Chains A and B, each alone.
Chain A
Amino acid sequence: MPKKILLIEPLKCKGCLRCELICSFVKGTIFNITISRIRLLRFTENEIYYPTTCEQCFTPPCKDACPVEAIKIDAETGAITVDEELCIGCQQCFFACPLGRVSRVPHSKIPIICDLCGGNPPCVEECEYDAIKFVNFDKANNEVRKSRIKNISKLLELIM
């Protein structure tokens, strides 16, 4: 169980892509948003951006779906990790995630899932608009409820 999780408030997102850029930079010392663990969903008609990343489930369907046990839970942070050595690239995790938060990368068989960067995710600091927060798990309950209601109702109004 993760101690802290990423909490995203999409309405605060201005679409600058800095979270995607820093993620690729930290993970690969390159800038390439296709390998970012956090991805912006773009609703083009109203130019609404919804940053999405792994929600760190208790019993992750991606982990259950992995036939070679390449998906593990980090003992330290409680975050989901992918063992690239073990991964056979079957993509079952990609289809298993009910939220669509596992990413496939062009030219690579390894799926990518946010591992919370060892408990210090730089995307949080990189977001100048406070759209990404890293909150204690026990505190997250109410924060999540509130932000979901606020964001979803407003988003529906904007997108629909």
Chain B
Amino acid sequence: MNKNLAALFIDLTSEKTQVKKIKPDFLKMFLGGSGIGWMLAAEYIKPETHPFSPENPIIISVGALVGTLCPGASKISAITKFPTLASADGKNFIGECTGGTRYFGLMLKMAGYSHLIIVGKASKPIYLKIYDDEIEFKDASGFWGKNYSTDYVANKLLEDEGEDSGVIVIGKAGEKKVFHALTFVDKMSTLGRGGLGAVMGSKNLKAIVVRGTKAIKIADSKKFIEEVHKVRSRIIKWPHFKQWITRGMGGSGWEIFRNTQYPGKWKKTKWDKLYGEKIKETFDRVQACISCIISCKNTWTIRNGKFAGDKGFSPATAKVATSGQLLDVEDYRKMLHLYKVANDEGIDFYTTTRLIDFVTTLYHQGKLTEHDTQGMKLSRSYDCYLDLLYKIVNREKFGDVLADGWFGLYNKTNIDPQEYWYGGICKGVDFIYDARPSHFHPLMMTFFTRPRPHHGGSHTLTNVPGKSIEEIKEQVIKWGLDETTVNKIFTPTPYSGKFNVGIYTKYMEDMMRVKNALGICSIYTFMGLIFGEDMANLYSAATGLEMSASDLLKCGERIFNLSKLLNVREGFTREDDKPPEIWFKPMISPEGKIVLKDYFGSKIFQKEDIERILDDYYKERGWDVKRGIPTREKLVKLGLTKIINVEDFL
């Protein structure tokens, strides 16, 4: 395992490459994968770097257990300074995005690298080809600026470079540096909410293709395979197992989605009929990431109507249904088509559809004028939505304003993003769930406490509605927390209800960093299929470093602190970790008013309650509660002062 620990440094400007060995000693501190990725970020991301400047690196990390038989170990992550405007004055967060892969993670490791560091800017559009020790900067002008879908480009590259290659591509939105452009990995995953696609675009980098032939070695192979089979035999006894492997999450998860992602515009029964039932008809086949035995993804096809034949990947249910209701589009096929176009063009479907919902409604209400929209007449119609999407991708007219995201809109029109009615916004990113119908639990909190406001894998059992306190507690115990901490989390308080979300979130964020460093999918952990001890055993056997579940959590905490530290240097404080304003106003739905409550729905949260929960969160982190940033003492305790000069960051 340690032999695969090396970073490939690529400078697109000079076309020079260098292999940098990473000392195995750092594994004890940062585990590997994105943990080491953050260590590299501290070295390579310089203060006040513009996200689109050639100096801004893209650091891609492969999880420590990816490429082995560990179930669910498939994730890669990318760290960069994201272009999304996190505030009106133009702050940018340094974040980590993570996603499952089929070939990319495996092949990068087989090529001999655990990490990729890409800096510079190519003089013309190129794609990177990595084949073991050979690195080529290949001409991509045939793909650039053309009307080719991300899927088409990926297929072409796979045809040319080998079908078992890993591939990351950007679409036209990335080329045009739309702030919420994504990347597409192995034709099955998206990576990079917040604008990874735009950072690639700014570097003239259309795609990365990777293939390798080298072995991934395990320190104690006998123990490792025993652990794998122990975990696997438990997972296949999971009651939902059969359903998932035949229908994927898209086919199985409607009951969860309808309760957690409800925007409250239609009656739930209408929504069930128009989307919940109908989307099932589009299901084609389940798709698994590498090593996955529960396979949540699927491919789909529109069977009839004007858009018959449109195809796509990933469980579309939640995204398409939620945006469909927000935009009041009753035909699910129209929304699936919009989703396909977003994927073809390489743009974030969530952010784009919400921005469109926002501006078309404001225009309808007269709060946005034709002057603001640069002569564009907006309407609450599907044709207008589709037109706006293309305009954003191409940065044409008003689309150019929306391509700069929520604060881009604010800077041009003075419309406060906090006025948007669904989900909530923090640091310039719209949340994928709204805490009012979902209830307030650790995932909701981590949306605004972590540097990049997307979940990043911080799911817990509380994502699923209706679990008992005993079930929730059982999962927390299995993550390797000591008794005192568990008791602290589950001591009821007047401001947080039956458990203390603030303290709970701290540990779940640390666990998220562990999962991302190891490359283990969060679905396994939040469904209670893999626990702290399993991860520790697998990691120890793979690397030869004896680690317990609590050791892993300590590393997770160290990684989290380092990621925060980089953002403190960019000027982020508690002021930025704000719960969205909209959560404190009732959601008016056909089912009645929905207000912000605790997980069990027994306590209504006021702003003061959330502030107190936040106090507890920072206190548990051992940070400066007032400023919401790490203290020097904490950083010394975590050993971070040994690898960086913390004074440069605080």
A41 partner residues in chain B, CB cutoff 8 A: 163
Given A29-B221, A42-B164, A44-B155 in contact, is the A17-B106 Cβ separation under 8 Å?
Answer: yes
A92-B421 Cα distance, complex, nearest whole Å? 68
| Residues 109-141 of A contacting B (Cβ, < 8 Å) | 126, 128-129
Give B76-91 as 1s and 0s: 1 = Cβ < 8 Å from A's Cβ atoms: 0000000000000000
Is the beta-carbon distance between B69 and A47 smaller than 8 angstroms?
no
8 Å CB contact of A31 from B213, B215, B232, B295 = B215
Given A18-B293, A29-B221, A30-B216 in contact, is the A44-B69 Cβ separation under 8 Å?
Answer: no
Is the beta-carbon distance between A16 and B216 smaller than 8 angstroms?
no
A15 partner residues in chain B, CB cutoff 8 A: 102, 287-288
A50-B505 Cα distance, complex, nearest whole Å? 43
A33 to chain B, nearest CB (A): 7
Closest B residue to A129 by beta carbon equals B245
Given A45-B155, A128-B236 in contact, is the A14-B286 Cβ separation under 8 Å?
Answer: yes
8 Å CB contact of A33 from B106, B217, B232, B292 = B106
Q: Does A107 contact B (CB under 8 A)?
A: yes
A104 to chain B, nearest CB (A): 11
8 Å CB contact of B295 from A14, A32, A107 = A14
Is the beta-carbon distance between A16 and B291 smaller than 8 angstroms?
yes
Stretch with Cβ within 8 A of B (4 or more), from A20-28, A61-69, A81-89, A95-103: A20-28
Is the beta-carbon distance between B215 and A17 smaller than 8 angstroms?
no
Interface residues on B, range: 35 or more
B299 partner residues in chain A, CB cutoff 8 A: 46-47
Is the beta-carbon distance between A33 and B164 smaller than 8 angstroms?
yes
A81-B591 Cα distance, complex, nearest whole Å? 68
Is the beta-carbon distance between A18 and B155 smaller than 8 angstroms?
no
Given A16-B295, A42-B163 in contact, is the A29-B213 Cβ separation under 8 Å?
Answer: no
Is the beta-carbon distance between A30 and B291 smaller than 8 angstroms?
no
Given A17-B106, A21-B291, A126-B69 in contact, is the A30-B217 Cβ separation under 8 Å?
Answer: yes
Given A16-B291, A31-B218, A44-B187 in contact, is the A25-B213 Cβ separation under 8 Å?
Answer: no
A129 partner residues in chain B, CB cutoff 8 A: 245, 288, 295
Q: Does A34 contact B (CB under 8 A)?
A: yes
Q: Does B27 contact A (CB under 8 A)?
A: no
A109-B40 Cα distance, complex, nearest whole Å? 39
Q: Does B290 contact A (CB under 8 A)?
A: yes
Is the beta-carbon distance between B155 and A30 smaller than 8 angstroms?
no
Is the beta-carbon distance between A32 and B110 smaller than 8 angstroms?
yes
Closest B residue to A126 by beta carbon equals B69
A76 to chain B, nearest CB (A): 24
A15-B154 Cα distance, complex, nearest whole Å? 17
B288 partner residues in chain A, CB cutoff 8 A: 14-16, 129
Is the beta-carbon distance between A29 and B218 smaller than 8 angstroms?
yes
Closest A residue to B155 by beta carbon equals A44
Q: Does B67 contact A (CB under 8 A)?
A: yes
* Chain A residues packing against B (C-beta within 8 Å): 14-18, 21-22, 24-25, 28-34, 40-42, 44-47, 106-107, 126, 128-129
Given contacts A17-B106, A32-B110, A47-B287, list 17 more A-B pairs with CB under 8 A.
A14-B285, A14-B288, A16-B291, A17-B291, A18-B69, A21-B67, A24-B215, A25-B221, A30-B215, A31-B67, A31-B215, A31-B217, A32-B213, A32-B216, A33-B110, A44-B158, A47-B299
Q: List 21 A-B contacts (CB under 8 A).
A: A14-B286, A15-B102, A15-B287, A15-B288, A17-B102, A18-B69, A21-B69, A24-B215, A25-B221, A29-B221, A30-B216, A31-B216, A32-B213, A32-B216, A33-B164, A34-B213, A42-B163, A44-B155, A44-B158, A44-B159, A106-B213
